[in-house]
Structure 1
Amino acid sequence: MRIGLTGGIGSGKSTVSAFWVEAGATVIDTDAIARQLSAAGGAAMPAIAAEFGPELVAADGSLDRARMRELAFADASAKRRLEAILHPLIGAETQAQAAAAPGDLIVFDVPLLVESGRWRARVDRVLLVDCSEATQIRRVMERSAWSREAVEAVLHQQASRERRRACADAVIANEQASLAQLREQVLTLARLWRKEQSRGL
């Protein structure tokens, strides 16, 4: 079974993802793949340097993420140009990891699953990790020391809660849930979906 896991920034998706590993799933993290591709020596860096110039390359040879974020907010075409480089490479690596995955469950951790428009057809189920925007903003400011304006700018580029909910087969509420409650939700869902899969549902 192929599960698409999604949620907005600060929703707690990474925590939920770890519980899927405990449930026996192989988790393929598209954000982690993107970071590897744009790290020093990453496969995307020559094309990124050619497209955006040396000022977007950090001293260690990786993508200067802070500068790219500023550029993307100021110029929407910059984000599209970066995605045109990264997305085919992410897609190829995702497919390679999925082909090599053991077990009966693959979880694709895709922050922009809803926005992409392509992923719904690639997975059997979509699982959304959901919380209020106020909670998202607070969490990201606490963990990343971003300003409120920076977090809100990212939120405005992402799909709304309503749009995500409309695409989801199941929703994990992560507003005030404890780690034990999140874990139980994931393990229960894994049992349910495995049972459905065995029945051909």
Structure 2
Amino acid sequence: MAHYFIGLTGGIASGKSALEKAFAAHGVTVADADLIAREVVEPGQPALAAVVAHFGAGVLQADGRLDRAALRARVFDDDDERRVLEDLLHPAIRARMMAVCRNAPGPYAIAMIPLLTEGGGRTAYPWLDRILVVDAPPAVQMTRLMQRDSIDDSLAGKMMAAQATRAQRLALADDIVVNAGDVAHLQRAADELHARYLALANAARVP
């Protein structure tokens, strides 16, 4: 079971998924907050019941599953409602992520948390030993986001502005990988960090 934990984060379209794959290629378990966020709102889960209790049955599809588009429309321009949703979901997501990481094989595991900075940083995730930030120039993020989601620069700008600033993310970082589009560089960075994290995890192992 893993005993050393890395938080992986970065801005939208910064290359988090590509770096996640590079670590996974080394056999490292990555607990993905986005995937876990879907798991905790499956039918029958307490978090889904809590969401419906607050937002109403209108956020459900006919089959009883969460209607993400309807919920997104409810909270996108309403900061108070978005905070309510976060308060309902984040504790369940954090608990599940920690369980996945602690039960991972190998000496260390990675928790990929796109909104780590916005979600409370180290205070919300005190069990993280280090934080790795994937950084990309804002212009590169904008271009990737527009291409990835087939959106214009106005919407892309709003999506980026809704997140923490680049400076706020970097202030949390123990390690930084700059991803300006060179896949080979990203792979080399993952290889080097994997070796470093193995060494740190082995040094931290309790005799």
Distance apart, 1:191 and its partner CA: 0.6
From 184, 195, 202, the equivalent of 1:191 is 195
Matches within 5 A, 1:46-65: 46-65=49-68
Aligned to 1:126: 131
Q: Which moved more, 1:6-15 or 1:190-199?
A: 190-199
Q: Is the 8 A contact 2:36 2:96 kept in 1?
A: yes
Aligned to 1:103: 106
Q: Distance in 2 between matches of 1:64 and 1:146?
A: 22
Distance apart, 1:200 and its partner CA: 4.8
Q: Which moved more, 1:157-166 or 1:133-142?
A: 133-142
Give the count of matched residue pairs: 200
SS at match of 1:92: helix
Q: TM-score, normalised by structure 2?
A: 0.85
Q: Is the 8 A contact 1:128 1:172 kept in 2?
A: yes
SS at match of 1:127: strand
Identity value in percent: 37
Q: Is the 8 A contact 1:4 1:119 kept in 2?
A: no
Q: Is the 8 A contact 2:108 2:197 kept in 1?
A: no
Distance apart, 1:159 and its partner CA: 1.2
Where does structure 1 lack aligned partners over 5 or more consecutive residues?
none
Where does structure 2 lack aligned partners over 5 or more consecutive residues?
none
Q: Distance in 2 between matches of 1:136 and 1:61?
A: 36
Q: Distance in 1 between matches of 2:182 and 2:86?
A: 34
Distance apart, 1:147 and its partner CA: 4.2
Counterpart of 2:194, as a letter, is A
From 174, 177, 200, the equivalent of 2:179 is 174
Q: TM-score, normalised by structure 1?
A: 0.88
| CA shift in 2, pair 1:61/1:168, >3 Å | same
